[in-house]
Amino acid sequence: MKLTPIYLAVITSIGLSGHVAAEQKVSLDNNENIEKIEVTGRYIQGYNPHSVSGASRLDLAISDIPQSVSVITSAQLDDFQIKDINSALDTATGVNVERIETDRTYYTARGFDITNFQIDGIGLPLTSGNNHSDEDTAIYDRIEVIRGANGLMTGVGNPSATVNFIRKRPTADNMLSLSTSYGSFNDLRLEADGSARLNDTFAIRAVAANQTKDSYLDRYQTDKDVFYLFLEANLTDDTNVSLSHSYLNNDAKGNNWGALPLFYIDGSATHYARSTNTSANWSNWQVVKNNTVLELSHFFNDNWRLRATYSHKTTDEDTELFYVFGTPDKATGLGLTGYGSEYDLDDKHDLFDVYINGDISLFGREHQLVFGLNHSKMSYIDSSLYDYSTGNGFPVMPDLNSWDGNTSMPTFKDNPRGSDVSREQQAAYFTARFNLIDDLHLMLGGRYNDWQQQGITYETKQDADDNEFIPFAGVVYRLLPELVAYTSYTETYMVQKELDINNRILDPVTGESREIGLKSELFNGNLIASLAYFDVKQTNLAKPDPITALLPPTEQRYIGIDGIHSHGIELDIAGEIYPGLNTSIGYTDFTITGDDQVSAYTPSKILKLAATYEFSSIDGLSIGMNARWQDDISREQGVVTAGFNKAGEKIITTQEAYAVIDLMAKYQFNDNLTLALHAKNVTDEKYINSLYWAQGYYGAPANYGATLSWKM
């Protein structure tokens, strides 16, 4: 089923507006003689987040931030039972989730990789530019997505987006929430979330979850444990200290490494069953993540505040992987070879950040300032082992259509290779928001980064150092009480770890990012809409070298691309359109030039739409739809070899435009008990998850689930 953005918007508007109109008519007919009391200024516990803090260290309304911002609220996460960050970011405006393997995911926005992930505004770029394992959302209250460059807060990174995960903290009142869910593929989940005020000084929040599930993919199954504890102490009226720890253990069996070949040797496209998996029956990938955070917050007076944060994060990965490479014959399915490897990773991040922010009076007006210092250290050790001696390390593969994963376990003891790398960064940053005249604000800022890296990766030295000042400027002007215009400019800078064909580290990526837009607060602030035009130029971006494109990830090499350019528009709408109707709508349309391959495999038009309607005539009942649509993508895979009818012609893998539509219905029996039903990919769309790599696998078919929740 192929749906255009316009068609999706129309069917959604018709479907939901019909219910709204009917509900409003019933309400008017039945309440003509009832005294009406108008309540204003209420805070909508829905899809309108009102403010974010991850963009500048200033707690600003979204309309006052000179960048595109969207927030995945707790209401949206709960309505659609979104329990992993990949599914969460599927709903974020402009974000493309590149599922290249079952347990390795890249994220892009505006044509560039997203490498900056924060927790409560503190974070470091991903070690490898991608995320491993099934990250859970249970410990997060909401997820902020600041699109464009965010050099003020992260120091280095792409002009794509910064994803800021806001963790759950103790609530004002004691609460306890328990839920259980069960769905297709034996998906069983148990979750508990509790908060308690022990006394006037101490409070605690704890979250625990376990999820076990099989998969539509042959042999693939996961077992995930999550635990989170947040302790808070109000030492005085002005001083607060907190200590928190999160733990994630994701144990995957039958995971793939690499994915399906997408074309036959004659150049035609492969068409495997959705369940086809390249994994061996012994494949496994265990990821254990621990994160401890210590925070101190102190208010000097009503205007000035200090916040200091120390974060210690570790990742331990143990894997036994099976890769499939080659090009199959269309008639027999033969021509592929297996490739076994044992891969282990120990990754450690330490980060200290301290800043002060407050108000100053200057020229008869109030202004806001932020000054901060940041020190971070990242180190990782990884190792790979192979089997070149027993004959089990590189088995000849049968036709994948009949592959059952049955292959002898290799003896991983040959050719040990790996990395031992450390990187330190020292930074000083400032942000100033000047109130120039009524309704006109100027934001200026900058960040000075000094970093050093040393170590070795697969026999290649990684020693390097550099420093850079990253400026930022933005202007916000309130044209009307409900309408603001803004513009912003920043430069971009990102250290690279990719190696070229001569095993040398590529030079850093540099560039410029500009944005101009309008933001409007509608329906008494219940809805916020924004429209932005962005223009990004970046040079020396790493691109896989075609010479090594079909090799396993650890063997690939890269080239630097000069002159990549991305420009386009983004529309974002979030909040309550009508009483009871909450929506989150995002549409992105952009063009990439300078790299034909990136432009081809990146969807240039993306629509995200979530809507829920709470019936007033049936107390406790709500329905909703969560949908995403993207236009067609493709990837050039080389040319047809001699001896075939189309010898010498280009091989193009194409994924046509498609939509994935999820539905939900929820009924709240009373203040404590709620039952929710969910249907995902209800049209049973078959699609390739990503063409980010030369291989790919299919998304999940239609599947269903139910969640029973109890809260006090």
- CA geometry: angle 711, 76, 241, nearest 5 deg: 65
Tokens of 47: 């899809």
H or E element in which residue 153 lies: helix 151-154
Which pLDDT score, from 0 to 100, does residue 27 have?
Answer: 41
Scan for tokens 């036994």, then name that residue: 320
DSSP classification of residue 472: E
Q: Which fold has domain 166-590?
A: Maltoporin; Chain A (2.40.170)
Residues 6 or more apart whose Cβ sits within 8 Å of residue 17? 578
Report yes or no: 251 and 222 within 8 Å, Cβ to Cβ.
yes
Amino acid at 122: I
Amino acid at 450: D
In angstroms, the Cα distances linking 438 to 14, 51, 58, 289 are 42, 21, 19, 48
CA nearest neighbour of 376 among 55, 131, 57, 124 = 124
List, for residues 212-269, the tens digit of each pLDDT value.
999 999 999 999 999 999 999 999 999 999 999 999 999 999 999 999 999 999 999 9
Distance CA 353, CA 123 (A): 10
Amino acid at 619: D
Distance CA 318, CA 453 (A): 25
Helix, coil or strand: residue 176:
strand
Distance CA 435, CA 577 (A): 32
- CA geometry: angle 310, 312, 316, nearest 5 deg: 170
Scan for tokens 């994935």, then name that residue: 660
Helix, coil or strand: residue 602:
coil
In angstroms, the Cα distances linking 234 to 121, 197, 239, 295 are 21, 11, 6, 12
Scan for tokens 């540099």, then name that residue: 510
Distance CA 462, CA 499 (A): 9
**What are the beta bridge partners of residue 167?**
140
Distance CA 228, CA 248 (A): 9
Distance CA 543, CA 10 (A): 39
In angstroms, the Cα distances linking 583 to 75, 143, 178, 607, 615 are 11, 16, 26, 13, 15
Helix, coil or strand: residue 416:
strand
In angstroms, the Cα distances linking 680 to 84, 515, 565, 663, 665 are 15, 35, 35, 6, 12
Which pLDDT score, from 0 to 100, does residue 361 have?
Answer: 92
Q: Which residues of the chain have pLDDT under 70?
A: 1-45, 50-51, 53-56, 124-128, 151-157, 550, 552-554
CA nearest neighbour of 351 among 370, 379, 371 = 379
User: Taking the chain, what is the end-to-end CA distance rounded to the nearest angstrom?
Assistant: 43
CA nearest neighbour of 536 among 95, 52, 161, 27 = 161
H or E element in which residue 21 lies: helix 5-30
CA nearest neighbour of 665 among 592, 710, 615, 700 = 615
List, for residues 543-576, the tens digit of each pLDDT value.
788 888 767 666 788 888 777 899 999 999 999 9
DSSP classification of residue 548: G
Tell the burial category of 416 from Cβ atoms under 10 Å away from its Cβ (0-12, 13-18, 19+): exposed
Scan for tokens 């503190």, then name that residue: 122
List, for residues 91-137, the tens digit of each pLDDT value.
999 999 999 999 999 999 999 888 888 899 887 655 567 888 889 99
Query: Do you know the residue count of the chain?
Result: 712
**What are the beta bridge partners of residue 465?**
452
Handedness of CA 533, 537, 541, 543 (dihedral sign): positive
Average pLDDT, the chain: 89
Report yes or no: 262 and 653 within 8 Å, Cβ to Cβ.
yes
Residues 6 or more apart whose Cβ sits within 8 Å of residue 67? 55, 146, 147, 148, 150, 474, 486, 488, 515
Which pLDDT score, from 0 to 100, does residue 124 have?
Answer: 62
CA nearest neighbour of 490 among 27, 148, 146, 54 = 148
Tokens of 438: 């009524």
**What are the beta bridge partners of residue 221?**
253
Tell the burial category of 199 from Cβ atoms under 10 Å away from its Cβ (0-12, 13-18, 19+): exposed
